[in-house]
Structure formats: C-alpha cells, structure tokens
C-alpha cells in the first residue's frame, strides 16, 4: 500500500512540475506581449486579464508542488529536538491540523466557485468559476498529500521532509 501511495505522490509531482513551468512560461510570454504591444503598437486588451489568471493558477499549483516537495516553511526546532515518540506525535498533530485546513479550504473554494459561476471576465468573457477552480483543486491535492503523510507516519515511516530531497552542499 505504501508503495502505491509513493507512486501517487511522485506522479503528482511529475504532473505539477511541467504544468507550473508551462504556466510560468506562458505568463512570461503574455507579459512580454503586453509590454511589446504597448510600446510598438496598440495595446492588446486581453493580456492583463490572462496574466492575472495565470498568476492565480501558478500560485495555487505552485503551492501544491511545494507541498509535495516538502518545501513549505516550517519551524521544526522544537519538534526536531524531541525524542522519536513525541516527535512523531507532534508531526502527526501538525499533519492533522494541515489536513483539516485543506479540507475546509476545498469546501470553501467549491462554494465560492459556485457562487461566482455567473460572473464573466471582462475581456475574455470567461466564466470566473474556471479561475476560482484552482483553489479547491490545489487544496484537495494538498489534503491528499497530507493523508499520504499521515499514513506514512502511522506505518512507521518518516513524513515528508524537504531536507532529504535537497542535494548535499560540497
């Protein structure tokens, strides 16, 4: 079971990495087009809106990718100074708090997306529910990763840790 969860974890990272990269490349291209169009000819009207929407999506999906890689900030000084038993207990409690927050964010995001579904973006006439869909999506992905961490912890394996993934400094 743990091997399957590890595969899901790695697959999620393998999908999110190129999606965030493509989003950043698209954002760079759209902003470049915006600057060039303002200087060289008439401004392209939709670029500001697309840049804003891309930034929203990149932010939330980037947060999910950082979660998957264990890169979110954490104050672990107290936790790391504890013996193994209390450390695992504190880590489990932190995962449960994170999981509760992500579940709440998913529910709130879905509600907000539904409330705003009638609204259209000014330039593209795109339903704003597509823009807001990234909030519950990213929160659900982070909740799923938290469940994987909790199962790892219960099974006696260490939870997600960024330090294990970092290259050693020579």
pTM of this structure: 0.88
β-partners of residue 120 are 127
Alpha helices in the chain (DSSP H): 2-40, 47-68, 77-81, 84-115, 128-132, 134-154
pLDDT digits (tens, 9 = 90+) for 56-86: 999 999 999 999 998 888 878 888 898 989 9
Residue 51 φ then ψ, to 5°: -60, -40
Which residues contact residue 51 at a Cβ distance below 8 angstroms, ignoring those fewer than 6 apart?
Answer: 27, 30, 31, 34
pLDDT of residue 168: 43
Distance from C-alpha of 63 to C-alpha of 49, rounded to nearest angstrom: 21
Q: Is residue 145 part of a domain?
A: yes
Nearest partner of 151 among 106, 95, 107, 77, judged by Cα:
95
What would the two tokens of residue 54 be?
């891309």
pLDDT of residue 31: 96
Q: Is residue 150 part of a domain?
A: yes
Q: Is residue 167 part of a domain?
A: no
pLDDT less than 70: residues of the chain: 161-170
Distance from C-alpha of 45 to C-alpha of 33, rounded to nearest angstrom: 11
Distance from C-alpha of 36 to C-alpha of 46, rounded to nearest angstrom: 14
Distance from C-alpha of 158 to C-alpha of 86, rounded to nearest angstrom: 13
Q: Is residue 170 part of a domain?
A: no
Distance from C-alpha of 88 to C-alpha of 80, rounded to nearest angstrom: 10
What would the two tokens of residue 151 be?
């199962």
Distance from C-alpha of 70 to C-alpha of 12, rounded to nearest angstrom: 13
pLDDT of residue 166: 42
Q: Cβ(91)–Cβ(152) under 8 Å?
A: no
| Domain residue limits at 85 | 2-162
Q: How many domains does the chain have?
A: 1
Q: Is residue 168 part of a domain?
A: no
Q: Is residue 44 part of a domain?
A: yes
pLDDT of residue 161: 66
pLDDT of residue 169: 41
Q: Is residue 169 part of a domain?
A: no
């Amino acid at each position: 079971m743990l091997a399957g969860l590890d595969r899901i974890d790695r697959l999620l990272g393998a999908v999110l990495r190129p999606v965030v990269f493509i989003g950043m490349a698209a954002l760079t291209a759209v902003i470049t087009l915006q600057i060039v169009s303002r200087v060289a000819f008439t401004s392209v009207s939709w670029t500001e809106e697309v840049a804003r929407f891309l930034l929203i999506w990149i932010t939330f999906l980037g947060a999910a990718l950082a979660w998957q890689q264990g890169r979110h900030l954490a104050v672990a000084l107290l936790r790391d100074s504890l013996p193994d038993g209390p450390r695992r207990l504190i880590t489990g409690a932190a995962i449960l708090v994170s999981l509760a927050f992500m579940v709440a964010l998913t529910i709130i995001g879905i509600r907000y997306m539904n409330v705003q579904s009638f609204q259209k973006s000014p330039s593209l006439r795109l339903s704003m529910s597509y823009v807001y869909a990234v909030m519950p999506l990213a929160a659900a992905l982070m909740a799923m990763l938290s469940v994987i961490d909790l199962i790892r912890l219960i099974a006696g394996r260490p939870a997600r840790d960024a330090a294990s993934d970092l290259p050693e400094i020579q």
